[in-house]
Structure formats: C-alpha cells, structure tokens
Amino acid sequence: MKLICSQTELNSALQLVSRAVSNRPTHPVLANVLLTADAGTGKLSLTGFDLNLGIQTSLIASIESSGAITLPSKLFSEIISKLSSDSPITLISDDSKNQVKITSKSGTYQVRSMDADDFPELPIVENESFLKINASSFANSLRSTLFASSTDEAKQILTGVNLSFNKHSIKSAATDGHRLAVLSLQDVISSDNESKIYENIEITLPSRSLREVERFLSSCKSDTEISFFYDQGQVVFISSDQIVTTRTLDGTYPNYNQLIPDDFQHTLELDRKNFILALDRISVLAEQHNNVVKISTNKRESLLNITAEAQDLGSGFESIPINFDSDDIEIAFNSRYLLEGLKIIETDSILLKFNAPTTPAIFTPNDDSKQFLYLVMPVQIRS
C-alpha cells in the first residue's frame, strides 16, 4: 500500500472510526483500525469495529498501490492529529517489516502494523431490501429516548432503545424501570420502496451504539435519506460515504404501552423553561437528599410550589405560575429524572398529568402534533 492524502481529511476520518474501536479489546487486532486503499476507486477506506458497533468511512487519496493493513487506532490517530495540516501525508506499508511509514513535511514516523486478514469483517446484510429513512427525523427519534435507557447491565434489554417500524412511521421507546420516554414519528420512511419484510418489525438496539448512530445521523445534511438494512440480529445504516453497523439486543422488550394510563384525574399546564430553571436551582438542595423534590399546587394563587428538604443542611422553596382546575394536590419526584425528560421536550407549554401521588405521572408537549410522552414514577412522600 502506498498513497498520499490530506492530513485534515485523514484526521477527521480517524476521529470518526476510532469511536467504534474498543478501549479494552478482547483481541489485539481490535485495538486497530483497518485501512483499505483502492487505486481503482481512488479511495482510502477506514474501519473501526468492536464486534458490536462498526463504523466505516472513506476519503479521496492519490493511491499509487492498493492494499490493506491495520494500525493501532490510538497511536495512529494521535500522530496524524498532530501533523501539520499544511502538508499532505504519505503512507507506505512495508509488509515484510510489519510497519507503516508516515511522512509529513517535518518528520517521519514508523508504526507497527498488523495484517488486514486478522481484522473481523463488518457484518453484511443478506437481504437486498431496505428502508429509506430521513436522517434528521431518525436522529430525533434516538435523541428523544436514549437518555431514558438503563445503564444497568443486569437488565440487558433495557440498556437499549426499542424501535418499531410500521409503514411510514417509527416509534422509539426507552425505559430504565423508573421512567419511560416514547416518541412516535410519522412519514419518516419514504414510500418509494415496498419492502414487505419491514412491516411491523420491532428491534432493540444497544444505547452505546445508538449514541454513535445519532452522532452519525446528526452530521448528515438535514434532508438526507439513509438506507436501513436489518437481518438476523444485525442492523446496517448506510449514507453516501459512511457505514455504521450494530448488532441488536436479544430478548423481549417489555410491553410499555400497558404502563401508560388512559385517563388522568389531574392535568397541570406549565411553562417548561420556568419549570426547568426552578428545578435546576432546587436541585442543589435535592441532591443532598436522594434528589427528591416535592411539588404542590396552590390553586388560589395559580402557583406550583417546588420544595426540597436536606435535613441538617437546609431547604429550598420555588414557585412558578400554572393553569390548573382540580383540587390542590401534592406529588414528589426525582429531580434528575424530571430535568432529563423536560430538556427533551420541544414546546414551551407542557402538560403534567396524573391520578395519584403514587401512580405514574406523564409529561407531554402541550401540542397534539408532537407525539412525545415521558412517564415518571413518583417518589413516595413520607407523611
């Protein structure tokens, strides 16, 4: 392999694919990135793969001889990132010595390489049919739910986001057992392909991979459509010059729909930004005592009072205006759960609906066109 490429482009590509390289590789070659130079297409392709998540991208290079090799991701990325962007970079692999020579205007580096044959192949999806999905809408699906997934590896299936595809719509959901975020999006799948096999499929993908997918989707131009392949426990996302693959999580995702009450006794309308600011301030006290915040209505003055008690340290009291028309109520929450969910909602006016201080409460945008729902279990108030 022998080629010349731009420092800036190689650096960006390495930053991207190294996100799929494991920090604790189970095999030495998994600490490496795969470089494949093709004189025919004039492209250098880079791949990182930790056996779950795979990222592949390519850049234009002046390729004198084709070839494939792997280099240690961290060392190679650090060297390239510090080289001058004024000078092109030459890469020459010397397979007999197992090393690659990197030359820039100021200096020369030799890095120990490993054989490309040892590098695992990215999963290829066998079926040829795929969905065309709007990249920015899909990024929104992920962003709106990822935060609510569990970090507890003991409940593996809850460490992912559940995706249901149905004709033109995608429903994404995540829960950690204490709260649940659900977003339904219509018309995100374009109609110009009629892949019957994608009707009514439901998969759960690991959050760690989806954070990279979200980053990848967010970097696409706003009206880009990406191709989505699914087969036998593997998902592949393809844009014009990038491929991201991830395995699915095994197991049955809980039937979260049955957790969502149909009717509510109480509905409060409040300003999301004011509520966030008040919760953020009161959290300083709440953090001292299990993050518990108590909210109670003052119907006479149309106020919502938010309080936190930190036994020996102090207490806090905030109030914000609300619209409310049933009897005065009191309910307590984990302030961190509230803040994380409220930051996702896009409208200024929001609704808080619930039946009792011990049953699930629901936050939604006060706008029927936004199909987002955030369910939070209240905290028991000691009386």
Residues that bind a copy of itself (CB under 8 A): 72, 75, 78-79, 82-84, 99, 106-112, 277-278, 280-282, 284-285, 288, 306, 312-320
Question: In a 10 Å sphere around its CB, with 0-12 CB exposed, 13-18 middle and 19+ buried, how is residue 26 labelled?
Answer: exposed
Q: Which is nearer to a copy of itself, 103 or 366 (CB)?
A: 103
Q: What angle do CA 24, 75, 25 make, to 5 degrees?
A: 15
**CB of residue 237 vs a copy of itself: minimum separation in angstroms?**
32
**CB of residue 292 vs a copy of itself: minimum separation in angstroms?**
16
Q: Are the C-beta atoms of 354 and 291 separated by less than 8 Å?
A: no
**CB of residue 249 vs a copy of itself: minimum separation in angstroms?**
36
Within 8 A by CB and 6+ apart from 274, the residues are 320, 321
Q: Give the torsion through C-alpha atoms of 49, 50, 53, 58, to 10 deg.
A: -20
Q: Which is nearer to a copy of itself, 71 or 142 (CB)?
A: 71
Q: Which is nearer to a copy of itself, 79 or 205 (CB)?
A: 79
Q: Which is nearer to a copy of itself, 247 or 281 (CB)?
A: 281
Q: Are strands 131-134 and 225-231 parallel, antiparallel or unpaired?
A: antiparallel
**CB of residue 71 vs a copy of itself: minimum separation in angstroms?**
9
**CB of residue 238 vs a copy of itself: minimum separation in angstroms?**
33
Q: Which is nearer to a copy of itself, 60 or 277 (CB)?
A: 277
Q: Which is nearer to a copy of itself, 107 or 233 (CB)?
A: 107
Within 8 A by CB and 6+ apart from 244, the residues are 53, 54, 55, 56, 209, 212, 213, 216, 236, 237
**CB of residue 282 vs a copy of itself: minimum separation in angstroms?**
7
Q: Which is nearer to a copy of itself, 95 or 202 (CB)?
A: 95
Rounded CA separation 92/2 (Å): 4
Within 8 A by CB and 6+ apart from 225, the residues are 132, 133, 134, 135, 190
**CB of residue 320 vs a copy of itself: minimum separation in angstroms?**
8
Which residues in 202-227 are b (16+ Cβ under 10 Å) and which e? ebbbbbbbbbbbbebbeebeeeebbe
